[in-house]
Amino acid sequence: MRMIEELATIEQQAQQELAQAQSLEDLTQWKTTYLGKAGALTRLSRGLGGLPAEERPVVGQRVNQARTTLDTAFQDAEARIKYATLQASLETDRIDVTLPGRVSDIGRLHPTTQVLRTVSSIFNEMGFQVWESREVETDEYNFGLLNFPPDHPARDMQDTFYVETPPEAPKLVLRTHTSPGQIHAMRRYAPEPVRVLLPGKCYRNEQVTARSEIMFHQFEFLAVGRNITMGDLKGTLKTFAEHMFGKGTRVRLRASYFPFTEPSAEMDVSCFLCQGKGCRVCKYAGWLEIGGCGMVHPNVLRNGGYDPDEFSGFAGGFGPERIAMMRYGIEDIRWFYSGDVRFINQF
């Protein structure tokens, strides 16, 4: 058959050229010429339709055999050339094995981790134990048990990520604050006094800016016992501020509102950079806002298993990223989660 003879000629010629190939560029050109979409074998295959019906199976099978043979030969030639190239490079390149090795970058602690460790150490000295709670919470723990009624306007302050659940299952959320841990801790220890520090990640569906992220850290502190007063809260805050920002740091409380504390306050510390004289960081006010705090609301105490007529407590929550930004002069919170090692290596 004429087509089989032509196929044999193509196969012989391809084998000869493949044996003479000296580089990967030669192989690329060879593959385009013989096995490519517009190659010799493809053009030959397109002529099968013009053959008599009894010849098509024989010629088609022969074309497939030739393609398989050439493809195998191509792989062998590619391996041969790659090995020759590697051998040539080993013969010409020289390695001085006496040179010292490259020092591995072992990384550094993230500034958020550094702040959290410092905070934990300070509160440990005051008798608080670290309590970790879950990041996926029920709506009841995240809001309801913390004195957020279903229609409470304070819910609008926190843009929540809801987790898809079956209709009959409890509604789940990514916690918007570390405060649900208060309920877990109180229910674990009630009716005994409790002092816990609750660090962890929080999530809010907010627009990412230089000052806000959808994921951030908080640390929450809680103390419940008999005869605990607002004076105890301020003393705790004063001790924390002096350990965190240096001796002589002053603390002030400004009236505020949180559903789970009553009374509630915002906490400020005197600017540790200008010692309260006024600078760019404190916007020339002499004070830096740190976070919120207050006396635990009676409803929250009751939900935690304590009798509010017998027990009282205080709680507060701060952002370690905010503290790190103030301490190190970081102007954009997005750097914390950029993954850029140049940022981390500064701390």
Give the DSSP letter string of 73-119.
Answer: HHHHHHHHHHHHHHHHHHHH----TTSPPPPP------HHHHHHHHH
Q: What percentage of residues in the chain have a pLDDT greater than 90?
A: 39
Contact (Cβ atoms closer than 8 angstroms) between residue 266 and residue 254: yes
Cis ω before 170 (30° cut-off from 0):
no
Predicted confidence band of residue 154 (pLDDT cuts 50, 70, 90): low
Give the position of tokens 């200008």.
274
Q: Which of 69-83, 246-260, 266-280 comes out lowest in average pLDDT?
A: 266-280
Contact (Cβ atoms closer than 8 angstroms) between residue 30 and residue 17: yes
Predicted confidence band of residue 197 (pLDDT cuts 50, 70, 90): very high
Exposure pattern of 301-330 as b/e (b: 16+ CB <10 Å)?
bbbbebeeeebbbbbbbbbbbbbbbbbeeb
pLDDT tens track for 86-136:
888 777 777 777 888 887 777 788 899 999 999 999 999 999 999 988 999
Q: Which of 9-13, 41-45, 74-78 comes out lowest in average pLDDT?
A: 41-45
pLDDT tens track for 287-314:
888 889 999 999 999 999 999 999 999 9
Exposure pattern of 203-237 as b/e (b: 16+ CB <10 Å)?
bbeeeeeeeebeebbbbbbbbbbeebeeebbbebb
Exposure pattern of 119-130 as b/e (b: 16+ CB <10 Å)?
bbebbeeeebee
Predicted confidence band of residue 30 (pLDDT cuts 50, 70, 90): confident
Pick from 268, 265, 264, 222: nearest CA to 245:
268
pLDDT tens track for 88-101:
877 777 777 788 88
pLDDT tens track for 60-73:
788 788 888 888 88
200: left (phi over 0), alpha (psi -120 to 50) or beta: left
Predicted confidence band of residue 156 (pLDDT cuts 50, 70, 90): low
Confidence check: pLDDT of 138 > 70 = yes
Cis ω before 191 (30° cut-off from 0):
yes
More confident residue, 273 or 327: 327
Predicted confidence band of residue 248 (pLDDT cuts 50, 70, 90): confident
Confidence check: pLDDT of 78 > 80 = yes
